[in-house]
Amino acid sequence: MLNIMEVHETNQMIEQEKLDVRTITMGISLLDCASANVDETCENIYRKITTYARDLVATGKAIEQDYGIPIVNKRITVTPISLVGASSCKSSEDFVKIAHALDRAAKEVGVDLIGGYSALVSKAMTPAEEMLIRSLPQALSETDIVCSSVNVGSTKTGIDMNAVALLGHIIKDIAARTADNDSYGCVKFVAFCNVPDDNPFMAGGFHGVTEGDAVINVGVSGPGVVSRALDAAKGKDFEFLCETIKRTAFKITRVGQLVAQEASRRLGVPFGIIDLSLAPTPAVGDSVGEVLEKIGLEQVGAPGTTAALAMLNDQVKKGGIMASSYVGGLSGAFIPVSEDKNMIDAAASGCLTMEKLEAMTCVCSVGLDMIAIPGDTSAATISGLIADEAAIGMVNQKTTAVRVIPVVGKGVGEMANFGGLMGYAPIMPVNNTSCEAFVNRGGRIPAPIHSFKN
Amino acid sequence: MFESLFPIIRHSGSFMNKAIITVVGQDTVGIIARVCTYLSQHNVNVLDISQTIIDGFFNMMMIVDYANADKDFSAMVGNLEDLGDDIGVRIRCQREEIFTKMHRI
């Protein structure tokens, strides 16, 4: 039978160490909503989402109350809209209509975010995919909770540099259209390489075409819990440290597994995966940066940061994988600058630089995430950042991503505020040496060789 | 002492819905009595009670069976929270699985 210390430990994690389930995300296939007429497609999409996800928020709240565990977000992901809208959309404006339909449907069912206004163009863009990408500035500035992603490359296909070059301009345009709000629109867009089909986190979540009709995916959180557990590992060797992280990751993931199974049962929708990521929030004590500092760094960004992060990421996976039958999504440690108090501090003090963050993305689960850069950064430079990250992902067979915000009207040292879970960030300096001739060559970078690994 | 007031019945194989009630706060007279009165009024069976002091705070844990309760679970959670506010302690009521999943393989 349970003892009082075990019960106390769990409740302490929830109340003091900010253990929460970050999101219950319902994936919904919209492939059967396509039609030859865009208004009809919009109607089909609205009807399917509001039918399938009708009880999602209420179910999430009921589970929250039953187990006493906060479930911070309830979200929806859908099939990449570039596919759903391909037969009916004749222009970018047509795609924007679909974005509005998604926004309305998501608001109707009361979810926090909806992801999947996306295109998968890792080899090349179809006319529909290009139209969707060109619609992003209007779509993201006119809607509130629609999130978008574009996959520009993969280990198997190489990198579509035409899309990369285009995205530099698109990101600048999104920033300009949402300039009043610290270029908030860019927070809702991410460029990927090797994007996973079942990611419950935003802005990169969508419902992959290999998925079933509907699915429940759950993203856990819990850097605060790991951080607290590491207090007991101070001064101990790596074996003890790793064991502590694994045990903690196991416990966190078990909570996610419970919530996922319960949500799946109550909603009558199959359980997909647990994404066992350490997802920070701007709140004090809920920081991946703090975990890295407790591992032994004076401040995140110091030499040793990449090694510490590699170890942390690996132990989180090792501990979490045994706790759940199905692990997927991004699964690892997130390093979104604006969403992590200690990262924000390190970026503001100059200890954490873009180049160090890029190195860190080689060993953790995502990429350059939630980084505010000067508003006057050129489109080519942003494309260069995307190309560099995509190359890291392509060569290392991992997911990488870029979500940078060129904050219009602000320069290095100023702060950008995105609000809520999205946090705030100091504008970080970017190397502005031109890469224009490189990104504008046109065509694609070929897939890397899969032998001669050195 | 509690057994005479609220007999602990060991179910054997019958259907149970277990929940964990925790009380944390400053110790005061009658906490257990008031919680148990509420539970008995709503036909919730107490299976086990333990208490200890952690970091100077009174901690009590009850394992209860609410299979035959006359209230739905979320209402019970709310009522117990209110009762806690009234006594000046924090009372939580959670379904058991969150603890067993985390601490048992």
Instruction: State the DSSP H helix or E strand holding residue A27, giving kind and residue range, or none if neither.
Output: strand A21-28
| Pairing mode of beta strands A424-426, A415-417 | antiparallel
A65 to chain B: which residues are within 8 Å by CB?
73-74, 77
Residues 45-64 of B with CB under 8 A from A: 48, 50-52, 54, 59-61, 63
Q: Does B9 have pLDDT greater than 50? A: no
Question: B92 and A11 in contact by Cβ < 8 A?
Answer: yes
Cα–Cα distances in angstroms (integers) from residue B5 to residues B33, B40, B79, in the given order: 9, 10, 22
Amino acid at A101: A
- The b/e string for B6-41 (b: 16+ C-beta within 10 A; e otherwise) is beeeeeeeeebebbbbbbbbeeeeebbebbbebbee
Question: B103 and A8 in contact by Cβ < 8 A?
Answer: no
The confidence band for B14, taking pLDDT boundaries of 50, 70 and 90, is low
Q: Given this model, what pLDDT does residue A331 score?
A: 87
Q: Is A417 helix (H, G, I), strand (E, B) or coil?
A: strand
Cα–Cα distances in angstroms (integers) from residue B31 to residues A92, B25, B59, B63, B81, in the given order: 65, 10, 11, 16, 13
B97 at A interface, C-beta within 8 A = yes
Of A7, A62, A257, Cβ closest to residue B101: A257
The residue to which tokens 């995105």 are assigned: A418
**Which residues, 6 or more positions from A93, have their beta carbon under 8 angstroms from its beta carbon?**
A135, A138
Nearest CA in chain A to B50: A4
Q: Is A62 helix (H, G, I), strand (E, B) or coil?
A: helix
Question: A68 and B98 in contact by Cβ < 8 A?
Answer: yes
CA distance A38 to A312: 47
Q: Measured between CA atoms, how close is A49 to chain B, in angstroms?
A: 27
Q: Measured between CA atoms, how close is B81 to chain A, in angstroms?
A: 12
Domains and CATH numbers, chain B: 18-103 (3.30.70.260)
Strand-pair partners of A402: A191, A368
For the whole model, what pTM was predicted? 0.90
A9 to chain B: which residues are within 8 Å by CB?
103
Phi/psi for A406 (5° steps) reads -75, 100
Nearest CA in chain B to A7: B99
Question: B98 and A67 in contact by Cβ < 8 A?
Answer: yes
> Would you say A216 and A200 are in contact if contact means Cβ atoms under 8 Å apart?
no
Q: Given this model, what pLDDT does residue A221 score?
A: 84
Q: Is B60 helix (H, G, I), strand (E, B) or coil?
A: strand
Q: What angle do CA A90, A168, A156 make, to 5 degrees?
A: 80
Question: B99 and A258 in contact by Cβ < 8 A?
Answer: no
CA A162, distance to chain mean position in Å, is 23
Tokens matching residue A166: 């285009």
Q: Given this model, what pLDDT does residue B4 score?
A: 40
Under 8 Å CB pairs connecting chains A and B tally to: 67
Closest by Cα among A84, A126, A127 to A102: A84
Question: A11 and B22 in contact by Cβ < 8 A?
Answer: yes
What residue spans of A178-237 are helical by DSSP H?
223-230
The confidence band for B1, taking pLDDT boundaries of 50, 70 and 90, is very low
Question: B61 and A7 in contact by Cβ < 8 A?
Answer: yes
Q: Given this model, what pLDDT does residue B27 score?
A: 85
Domains and CATH numbers, chain A: 25-193 (3.20.70.20), 220-444 (3.20.70.20)
pLDDT of B19-38, one tens digit each? 999 999 988 888 889 999 99
| Pairing mode of beta strands A113-115, A146-154 | parallel
User: CB A65: neighbour CB atoms within 10 A?
Assistant: 18
- Orientation of helix A223-230 relative to helix A288-295, angle to 10°: 20
Per-10-residue mean pLDDT, chain A, length 454: 88 88 95 96 97 96 94 95 96 96 97 97 96 97 97 96 97 96 96 94 93 94 90 92 94 92 95 90 89 95 96 93 89 91 95 96 90 96 97 94 96 92 93 96 93 74
Q: Given this model, what pLDDT does residue A65 score?
A: 93
Amino acid at A316: V
